Amino acid sequence: MYHELISVERIHSGLFSRPVSDLFTWWRDNKGRLNEKFTPLLDKATMCSPAASENAAPPPLVYAGDDSLVAWCFSVEFARRVAGHETTPDPTLETIAAKGYWATTQGEPALSIISTTVETAEFGTVDLVYERLLVPVETITGKNLVACMAVPIRCPELFAGPGNQYRRHYSIGSDLTDRCRPELPASVSRQPVGENSRPGRQSLFPPVPGT
């Protein structure tokens, strides 16, 4: 397991995913102030409270998109009920992911490459390497949050359980779903999760009076 902080100047080198690049571009162009231009990023992003201290664990989640890494690892249902007070259910992931949050309280983004083992809800144990960008953001009411874009680089092998004979291999692709998509039999289908699939979903950005 490892966690390496990388200069954000490397984001546009072509080595990082489109979602990470898009979040950084939005943050730079909008000075971190949440607005309608952030909407296309919502499904893959997560948000949390600011870090309490330099060595604190990752702060509680306040939002997780349906196509976020949190949803992929722990289910869309988990992502939809974070309700502002949950961390992920994997203590190993929490420990390895902690570094970087404190930088955002100083107004700076934090770019990382993280390697760890995750106990997923659907597939069991996954060896996961992912890129992650954290940026400080401000809501329309002036509340400070941290937006996170985490995208898998590879998921080399996945096991359904100890001693299970069915080993599933993953292939690298272009986005969250393609980069970690199990090669399932043709008879198995997965329900796609669309941008507007969350029942009763409300906009995080209500219209401003007079506009």
Inside any domain, residue 178 = no
Specify the amino acid at residue 206. Answer: P
Q: pTM for this one?
A: 0.73
- Of 55 and 207, more confident: 55
**pLDDT classification of 154: cutoffs 50, 70, 90:** low
Structure confidence at residue 199 (pLDDT): 39
pLDDT tens digit sequence for 177-187: 333 333 333 33
Domain assignment present for residue 195? The answer is no
Residue 162 counted as domain residue: no
Q: Which of 197, 204, 127 is nearest to 159 (CA)?
A: 127
> What is the mean pLDDT of the segment spanning 24-53?
95
Determine the structural domain holding residue 93 and report its residue range.
2-152
Does 17 map to a domain?
yes
Name residues whose C-beta falls within 8 Å of residue 209's C-beta, 6 or more positions apart in sequence.
none
- Our count of domains for the chain comes to 1
Residue of 140, 157, 136 lying closest to 148 (CA atoms): 136
Contact partners, residue 82, CB within 8 Å, separation at least 6:
60, 61, 62, 63, 64, 70
182 within domain boundaries? no
The answer to whether residue 82 sits within a structural domain is: yes
Q: What is the CATH number of the domain that holds 97?
A: 3.30.450
Q: Is residue 85 part of a domain?
A: yes
Residue 174 forms part of a structural domain:
no
User: 71 — phi, psi (to 5°)?
Assistant: -65, -40
Asked if residue 111 lies in contact with residue 117, where contact means CB atoms within 8 angstroms, the answer is no
